[in-house]
Amino acid sequence: MIVVRPGALSHGELSGFYFTAQPIELHPDCWANVERSMQVVRSLIEQGKTVYGLNTGFGLLANQKISKDKLAQLQVNLVRSHSAGCGELLPDNVVRLIMLLKLSSLARGYSGVRRDVIELLVAMLNADILPCIPAKGSVGASGDLAPLAHMSLALIGEGRVRLKGIESNAAEVLKAQHLQPLTLGPKEGLALLNGTQVSSALALAALYESDRTFRSAVVTGAMTVDAAMGSDTPFDPRIHEIRNHPAQIDCAAMYRKLLAGSEIRDSHRDCSRVQDPYSLRCQPQVMGACLESLRHAADVLLREANAVSDNPLVFDDDQSMLSGGNFHAEPVAIAADLMAIAIAEIGALSERRMALLIDHHLSELPPFLVNEGGLHSGFMIPQVTSAALASENKHLASAVSVDSLPTSANQEDHVSMATYAARRLLTMVDNTNTILAIELLAAAQGIDFRNPLKTSGPLQVTHDRVRALAPFFDQDRPFHLDIEAVKSKVIAQQHDFDLGSTFQ
C-alpha cells in the first residue's frame, strides 16, 4: 500500500509502483486544499467572470465565451475532441504511472476539481482498470493533450479500458466494478487533459529501467576486464579523487568492489602490458558521466512528478485563476535527451568491450572466443548484432527537445516534443540490454577460457547465472535463444548487487 502525499512522491515509491502494481490511498490532509480550490471555481462562476478554461473556448478559441448552461457540455466536448491519439497502446505499467501522477497533481489543490474526480482515479487504479491510451499524438505542450484525453474518456464512461489485461468497453467495466462515471464539472476536463503526466511517466519508466541497465553494465564491464586480463589499476581511488566528479568516484569504487579477490587479476600483476584499451580502463570516466546524467534527470523528473502542470491554476489566497505555462514539458524533454545520450553511451561502450574480447590480438583469447575457429564462427555475428543496435541507438539519441512545430493556429507556437523524447527511451534501453547480454555471454566465455583461474566472488555469481541458461559455447549453435535468455533472466537481475547508490 502506498499512501500518496501529493507533492512528496519519492523515487522509491514511484519505481516500486512501476515495477509492481500495488494499492494506493491518498493522505487525508490533501482534501482540504482540494475543497478550497473547488470552491474558488464555483465562486468565479457565480460571479460571472470570464476565465480561460472555465467558461471560454480553448487554444485559439480562448476568446469565445461559453454560456453558463453549456459549461458541462464544454468539458465533455473537450475530452472527446482531444481524443485523437494513434499508434500502439502504452503498456499497463506506464498507464498506471500516468494515473498516479495525475491524481497526485490534482490532489495538491490548485486545479479546481472536485474530490470525486480524484477518488475515481484512485478507485480505477486499485481495481486495475486502465484506460487504453495510444502512444502517439502529443507534442508535449499544452501538456499531453491527446493521450490524457484518452485517459479521461474512461473516466466519463467512454472509450476503452483494460481490466487485468483484457480490453473492454469502459462503461461496461465501470458498471461491473460498481463505479460511477464522472459527470464533468467546470474546468475538470481541462484539468485532466492539461499536464505533463504522460511525458513524465514515460521518462520515469525509462529512468527506472535504465537504472537496472546501468548496474548490469557495470557488472558486465567488470567481468570483461577479468576475461581480457585487464588491470584494476585504473580504478585506484586516487586517480578519481583528483578529478573530483562524484559519479566517476562512485563508479570506480563499484569496479574495485566487483574485481576484488580475483585470481585472474592476481595472476598477471607483473605482466608486460602497460595500458588497457579505453573501453576497459576508462569505464569509471564514461560510466560516471552517464551516471551523472541519469542522476540529473532523476532530480528533474522527480520535481516534475510532484508538480502541478495544468492550466489555468487556482489560488485560494486571493480567489484567483491564473493562466501560465506549467504544461510546457521542456524540462522533461531536455532530461530525456540527456538520458538518451547516457543510454546510448552505455551500449556503445559495451559493444566496444565485446569487440575487444573476440579480437585475439587484444584479449589473447581464441579468435571469436571459440576453439577450432574457421570450422566454427563463434561470437563473430553476435558482435555484428551489437554494432547494429549501438548504431541504432546513436540515431535515436539525437536531440528531440530542439525540435518544435507550431500547433493550434500558432497560438501554441513553441512545443517541447517531450512525449516522443521520452517514448523512444524504452526502445533504447531494450537495445542496450541486448548489447549487454551479448557482452555478458562473451565475458563468461572468456572467464571459462581462463580456467583453472577463478574470477572474483561477485563476478562468479553472475557467471553462474549465465551458465545456468547458456552452456559454454564449444561449437556453433543458434545464438538468439541464449541472448534472449540472458537478457531477460540475468541482465534483469544484476541490479540486486550492492553497488552503492545510483539515484534512488
The residues near 47 (Cβ < 8 Å, ≥ 6 apart) are none
Could you tell me the three cell numbers for 261?
579477490
Catalytic residues: 52
How many other C-beta atoms can be found within 10 angstroms of the C-beta atom of residue 260?
13
| Residues 216/252, Cβ–Cβ less than 8 Å | no
CB-CB contact of 447 with 455 (8 Å): yes
Rg over alpha carbons for the chain, rounded to the nearest Å, is 26
Tell me the β-bridge partners of 26.
4
Give one DSSP letter per residue of 302-347, joined into a string. HHHHTS---SSEEETTTTEEE---TT--HHHHHHHHHHHHHHHHHH
Classified as helix, coil or strand, 376 is strand
Query: Is the N-terminal amide bond of 131 cis, ω within 30° of 0?
Result: no
Distance between CA atoms of residues 422 and 200, nearest Å? 8
> From the CB of residue 323, how many other CB atoms can be counted at a distance below 10 Å?
11
Which residue do the cell numbers 559519479 mark? 247
- Round to whole Å and give the CA distance between 46 and 1: 40
The neighbouring-strand residues paired with 166 are 163
β-strand 24-26 against 2-4: which pairing, if any?
parallel
H or E element, residue 97:
helix 92-106
- Asked whether the bond before 142 is cis by omega within 30 degrees of 0, the reply is yes
Instruction: List the alpha helices (DSSP H) in 375-477.
Output: 380-396, 418-449, 457-467
Residues with Cβ within 8 Å of 246's Cβ and at least 6 positions away in sequence, in order, are 292
Is-contact 181 134, C-beta < 8 A?
Answer: no
- In this structure, are residues 446 and 224 in contact, taking their beta carbons and an 8 Å threshold? yes
Dist. CA 472–CA 442, nearest whole Å: 10
Taking the C-alpha atoms of residue 93 and residue 401, their distance in angstroms, rounded to an integer, is 25
Cell digits of residue 235:
580504478
Cell representation of residue 13: 515509491
CA pair distance 161, 173, nearest whole angstrom? 8
